[in-house]
Structure 1
Amino acid sequence: MKILVIGAGWLGTQLATQLKADGHELWLSSRNVTKSSVVAEQFGHFVLDLAQSVRPTAELESLFKDALIICTVPASRTDGDGYTRAVAQLATLMKNCGALACIHLSSTGIYEGLTGEVDEQTELLLTDARIEVLAAAEQLINKAVPCCTLRLAGLIGPGRHPARFLSGKQAGLADVAVNMVHSTDICAAVSAIVQQKLWPELFNLSSPAFCSKAEFYLTACELASLPAPEFEPKNTAAAPGRRVLSTKSQKIAGFSYQYESALAALPFCS
């Protein structure tokens, strides 16, 4: 299968490596030519800057036609309009150029403001501007082509050690759930989804077993030899945390989480 990964970043390159090993034809995009020499050593490469106005060229039309598109464009916390425009342009390209389908890497940040257990059927707080941006992006792509939306928990893995997130900082409540997913598990899930052509679909990807925020970050900082974060005293009046359930993704045939809990993934982060 011809697969185009939009974004040759930290996760995009890992996904491309896995899918190439699966026997697929891989192309990666970057926003400018500076990355082309590095990417082109292993994969096909093309330039696509979704921050600018994009017109479909003959090259893009040929690449997109009948291809599976994997969208790794990250949602910006400071430029929601820019993210929406980028996704809208990609959706238009896919539709107009005859793409086969899309795997859209969204975020479990879409559940912000909610407490307790949340899953793919949970009603979202669309009055929140950031959540509205994430939901709108999901809808744009789903309307363009058949889409498998993956809502990813916090990203950890090689080159992305969670100790750096909160080391030496105020870290909030200690006993709330931490929702994380290792890049190895993301790659394995995407591999199984591609093999079975599971689109349209929606899955949360998050390590299944509960792990408290304090246990996770204290262990992470100890392993990385970094100063520990500081947590607030336990407050029984505080709102409960949010736990992202990944029960549905655990039913994907041929896929299982290598790291059942985020704590188990820590030795495999760097």
Structure 2
Amino acid sequence: MRISVLGCGWLGFPLAQHLLKKDFDVKGSTTSKDKLPQISQAGIDSYLIELPTSLTDPNIDSFWNTDILFLNIPPGRGNKNVLTEYPEMVQGVVNRVKQNPDTWIIFASSTSVYSETGGITSEDDAKPGTASRPSGEAILASEAILRESDMDYTILRFGGLYGYGRHPVNHLSGKQNLKSPCKPVNLVHQSDCVRVVDEIIQQKRLNKIYNVVSDGHPPRKEFYRSAAKHFNLPLPQFGPPEGIQYRVVSNQKLKNDLNFSFSYPNPMDHTP
């Protein structure tokens, strides 16, 4: 089976390596020429792809000629035009892939499509105009493009990604007067992300939407201060609680449908 990973970054690259070991015909893209050798040396057919300009490049037609496309391009929080540019980019990808109408698109979405509040949050709770940030609105609009495309899709709403040297505490250690001390974290380990995508493919879970977050949702203050101690970093300092019922993203549908158990269910274990 052929799979093209559009975005061989922190998640896409280990996914490509994993699928290569399972005898997939794997292609991977990057926006950086410097990363092409790393991808190629791993045995993955490497492509330099810049969106949207590369969509009309006939030299990379072989990348789009695939059974599965893992669409893994983040919108970027700092993009002021994200609400228009990101959905337009996804629409361009869909239009390009439609030339091979049997291609299945697996979309790396995000839990940022949900409101910050509301308690237990399931896949049906994402509503336009309520996302936690503009990039979340852009991702939700892009999900709609996929659902209305007449192509097979699977949407995976990943929580905050961590593992193997990437940990969110590195961004907050030593900071003062941080907000939302009681806000639950919604995280997922890189290894579990790869395993979920593998299971989605093996079980052929087409035209579904799943939240991909670990079981544990400790409060921010407890989690980040514990992580800082674990990694010998300066402790972050939090302000007072705000009395808000924040979202807790549920992974129950994923676990039930796929019979899936997380290898890293508790972020408080502080896996490197």
Q: Same fold (TM over 0.5)?
A: yes
Partners of 1:177 and 1:243 within 8 A in 2: yes
Deviation at 1:56, TM superposition (A): 5.0
1:239 maps to which residue? 244
Q: Against the structure 1 CA distance between its residues 162 and 132, is the aligned structure 2 distance closer, same or farther, given a 3 Å change threshold? A: closer
Q: Is the 8 A contact 2:69 2:104 kept in 1?
A: yes
More deviation in 188-197 or 85-94? 85-94
Quickly say closer, same or farther: Cα 1:230–1:148, change in 2 above 3 A.
Answer: same
Q: Secondary structure at the match of 1:218?
A: helix
1:192, 1:252 within 8 Å by CA — same for their partners in 2?
no
Summarize deviations over 1:103-144 as a string: whole Å, max 9, x none.
Answer: 100000011343211110114242664443111111222333
Q: CA offsets per residue over residues 194-248 of structure 1, 9 Å max, x none?
A: 111111110001111331212210111112211111112234xx22221111101
Detail structure 1 runs of 4+ shifted over 4 Å in the superposition. none
Contact 1:66 1:98 in 2 (8 A): no
Deviations 1:76-100 (A, max 9, x none): 1122133223212211111123352
The 5-angstrom pairing of residues 187-198 of structure 1 reads 187-198=194-205
Match of 2:21 in 1: 21
- What count of residue pairs does the alignment treat as equivalent? 264
Question: Which residue identity is paired with 2:249?
Answer: V
Tell me the percent identity.
Answer: 27
User: Does structure 1 conserve the Cα–Cα contact (< 8 Å) formed by 2:116 and 2:246?
Assistant: no
What one-letter code is carried by the residue in structure 2 that aligns with 1:114? Answer: T
Matched, 1:47 2:53: no
For 1:37 and 1:63, how far apart are their aligned partners in 2? Answer: 17
Indicate the SS of the match to 2:127: coil
Would the alpha carbon gap of residues 123 and 102 (structure 1) be closer, same or farther in structure 2, given more than 3 Å must change? closer
Counterpart in the other structure of 2:73: 73
Q: Which amino acid aligns with 1:185?
A: D
SS of 1:141's partner is: helix
User: Secondary structure of the residue that 2:258 maps to in structure 1?
Assistant: coil
Unpaired runs of at least 5, structure 1:
none
Aligned mates of 1:27, 1:255 — CA distance in 2: 27
2:170 is aligned with 1:164: yes
SS in 2 for 1:10: coil
- Give, in angstroms, the shift of residue 54 of structure 1: 2.3
> Aligned residue for 1:5?
5
CA distance in 2, matches of 1:123, 1:27: 32
Q: What is the root-mean-square deviation in Å for CA atoms of aligned residues?
A: 1.9
Deviations 1:126-179 (A, max 9, x none): 266444311111122233321110001111111312221211123323222111
- Structure 1's 99 and 171: CA in aligned 2 closer, same or farther, altered over 3 A? farther
> How far apart are 1:29 and its partner, in Å?
0.7
* Within-5 A mapping of 1:1-270: 1-42=1-42, 43-52=44-53, 54-55=55-56, 57=58, 59-60=60-61, 62-79=62-79, 80=82, 81-126=84-129, 129-144=134-149, 145-169=151-175, 170-235=177-242, 238-253=243-258, 255-264=260-269, 266=270, 268-269=271-272
The range that moved more, 243-252 or 102-111, is: 243-252
TM-score normalised per structure 1: 0.90
